[in-house]
Structures are given as structure tokens and as C-alpha cells.
Amino acid sequence: MKPYYIWIFALLSCHSISQNRSNCFIDQGIKSAKIEAVLLSDTTQTVSGALHFNTSGRPTFREDRDRKIEYKYDSINLTHTIVHYTDGVSGFTKIDTNVVVQNDEHGRPVKMNGADGKVSIYKYQGCDEQLEEYRENDGTLIHITKSIFKDGLLVESIWNTNDDSAAQVTKYFDYKFDEFGYWTERKYKYSSGSLILESRRLEYY
């Protein structure tokens, strides 16, 4: 995986979220977002993708270069995801279904069983922090990802394995917003020093 690859989830400008939106679902009101990320040290290296949301601000479909993800809900609860993998060279396609077996009061996953037998366990501190533990079926820890939010905006993610290697920290900053208060541009920086500019072109309900 290239170091500037887009991860979705998640301030030098002081913008507050509209009172009609929850800090847990700050994309409420957005129908779709076309995303582009560029490595600032080499602007020929870019990646792009797209996200679609329902009227509650929950993702329903994500499209990246080599995969597509469908998010399925029962009312507000995420029930499962369907991941379509495509090899652009051979044309090989693989489909995996991951099943949510426990949700929190906001409908967010607490435990998800993967098609490969692995398990993701999520813990939340309100809308300000998310911890994901990715484990083997026997409980052995594979890695942990911690995401930290401020006013609903992702400001830091920390990824670590169980082998005591140095954590990989990504910091998100310099958010810019449109006239409706949705972010349209941000920068993020990896522990390696790579700096990425990410932008979103938004379509609204």
C-alpha cells in the first residue's frame, strides 16, 4: 500500500459544525464526495476515490482504485459491508462480506466478523475517539488503530502492531470549509514526513 493512500474516516481554521449535525456524523447533508489526494513532494503521485452518504450522513458506498465497499443498514445500525476487490492487471475480482454482530447506541459497529475469520472490535469515547482492535479469530492482536477527533474532524490517527514496533502517527490539519461548513480540503502528514493534500468535491441533498 502506498504511503499516501486515502483513508476515510476523519484545525488551523476555526469553523464549528452546524447545530443540525452531530459530531459523530458531520457529513450529514452530503450526498457524495469525490476525493483526490496528492503527495506534495511529487505531485505526479495522486489517488482518487468517491464516497456516497445517506441522508443521516452515514456512508453507503465507497469507491477506490482497486476496491468498492457497500455499507448496509437496518434502520440506523450498520449490519454488514460488502467489499469488491479488483485486480486492475489480471481483472480478477473477489467479494467479501463482513458481518456486524454488535452495535452501539448510534448504530456504529462494536464487533465485526470478517470474511477472512478475523475480528474487528471498536471502542468509542463519545464522538471524540475511536479505537479499533483487529484480531485473529483466536483473539491474537494484529494491530490497533486509534482515531482522535475534535469538533467532529479527524485530527490524528495512530496505528500500531502487537510487535512493539514504533507507532505510525498521521496528523490532520489545515482544514478548509465551504459556505455550508463542510470541509473541502485538508492536509495530513505521516510519521515518515510525507505530506498529503486531500480535497473533496461535494454534492448535497
Q: What are the tens digits of pLDDT across the range 164-179?
A: 678 899 999 999 999 9
pLDDT band at 163 (very low <50, low <70, confident <90, very high): confident
The answer for residues whose C-beta is within 8 angstroms of residue 24's C-beta and 6 or more apart is 106, 108, 127, 152
Of 87 and 175, the structure prediction assigns the larger pLDDT to 175
pLDDT of residue 102: 98
Residues 136-140: what's their mean pLDDT? 93
pLDDT band at 25 (very low <50, low <70, confident <90, very high): very high
Residues 24-36: what's their mean pLDDT? 96
List, for residues 45-64, the tens digit of each pLDDT value: 999 999 999 999 999 999 99
Cβ–Cβ < 8 Å for 136, 110: no
Cβ–Cβ < 8 Å for 76, 107: yes
Neighbours of 71 (CB within 10 A): 19
Residues 107-115: what's their mean pLDDT? 97
Cβ–Cβ < 8 Å for 159, 143: yes
3-state SS, residue 85? strand
Helix-strand-coil split of the chain, %, nearest 5:
0, 55, 45
Q: Please, how many CA atoms are within 13 Å of residue 69, restricted to the half-sphere of its CB? A: 17
Distance, CA of 169 to CA of 22 (rounded, Å): 26
In whole numbers, what is the pLDDT of the chain averaged over residues? 88
Grid coordinates representing 125 are: 469515547
pLDDT at 90 over 80: no
Residues 35-52: what's their mean pLDDT? 97
pLDDT band at 20 (very low <50, low <70, confident <90, very high): low
